Amino acid sequence: MLKPRRAAAATTRLRFRTVLIGLLILTVAAGFALVAGTGELGWQRVLAEIGAQLTGGTSPLSEREAAIVWELRAPRVVLAGLVGAALAGAGAAFQGVFRNPLADPYLLGAAAGAGMAATIVVVLTPAVTTWFIGPLPLAAFAGALGGVGLSYLLGRSAGGKGTATLLLAGVAVTAFLTAIQTFVQQLNTDTIKQVYTWTLGGLNVTSWREVWVALPYVVLAAVVLCACARLLDVLSLGDAEAASLGISPGKVRVVILATASLATAAAVAVSGLIGFVGIVVPHIVRLLAGASYRVIVPMSLVGGATFLILADYVARTALPGELPIGVVTAFAGAPFFALVLRTGKGRSL
């Protein structure tokens, strides 16, 4: 009895150290994105400003420079972390539920549903942007949940028993919802530029308001997904094995899918459509840390935050004019995923 207990304790310590290292890397990335930028502030002065704010000392920055740090860069870094964590955590959850590393919010209709619903809200009420509990986040959540539900029902009605059928259904639903979104845009050409910019993804108009809109949804989703990580490990064994352990696979799937859809909707509502985070980050975590969702879920949350903070830094500094962040994630994510497939890591897909 002692050896299994010692092995379990060692595994727990290893998971704790892995997550701790991930948090340390996230902190370094966030600090780098905060102090580096096109402004001539100097990283030493920015660090001194942070120290002054923490200790109540005298700020070394002028009022304008302090505003650049705290009103422009800081909310952008925080929101990039929240959006990245939400998308990667949702991707890990979808992959666990459907037992397929190709599953992600963009293949199962969640992002397309959220995008379509948010586009309709933007077109109908251009003055509405984002509120804590407002039309845009709620519509995005309903759209995300509807997209996943439609993919699930279509996959079941097609008679396929494997996840490949569900993924194909998700592709069809995504194409259909995207077509509706495009149709709505064409009928409302006066707002098409606003919607088009939003669909490319971006954090260039970030303020603390967007952070407060996304924060409660992302934190709630992260807590629930981490709490369900053990159940995802059980589901990976098969429905019969899960039922033999007293777990209802159907109820567990509904809870996890609703939570992942909530995280996706929160991200889409404040940042637009940003692809590849939900599929690439969990895949990298799985390659580095193993197949247990008790590691994959928390590390995907941390890794997604780190990835999108760095991607946003590239988006705002690579060229004189800012790039849409969705373009940066596609440049980074598409070649990586093609490499994974080519080297045979995706044979189980």
Which domains are delineated in the chain?
62-334 (1.10.3470.10)
pLDDT tens readout for residues 232-257: 998 888 878 888 888 888 888 889 98
pLDDT at 129 > cutoff 80: no
Query: Quick check: 273 pLDDT over 80?
Result: no
215-229, 243-257, 303-317: range with lowest mean pLDDT: 243-257
Tell me the pLDDT band of 169, cut-offs 50, 70 and 90. confident
Q: Average model confidence (pLDDT) for the chain?
A: 81
Predicted TM-score (pTM) of the model is 0.82
- Residue 349: the pLDDT is 45
For residue 197, pLDDT beyond 90: no
Mean pLDDT of 172-184: 85
Checking if the pLDDT of 344 tops 60, the result is no
Q: Please, which pLDDT band fits residue 193 given cuts at 50, 70 and 90?
A: low
In this predicted structure, what is the pLDDT of residue 163? 65
Percent of the chain with pLDDT over 70: 84
Average pLDDT over residues 92-115: 81
| Higher-scoring residue by pLDDT: 260, 11 | 260
The burial of 159, by beta-carbon neighbours within 10 Å (0-12 exposed, 13-18 middle, 19 or more buried), is given as exposed
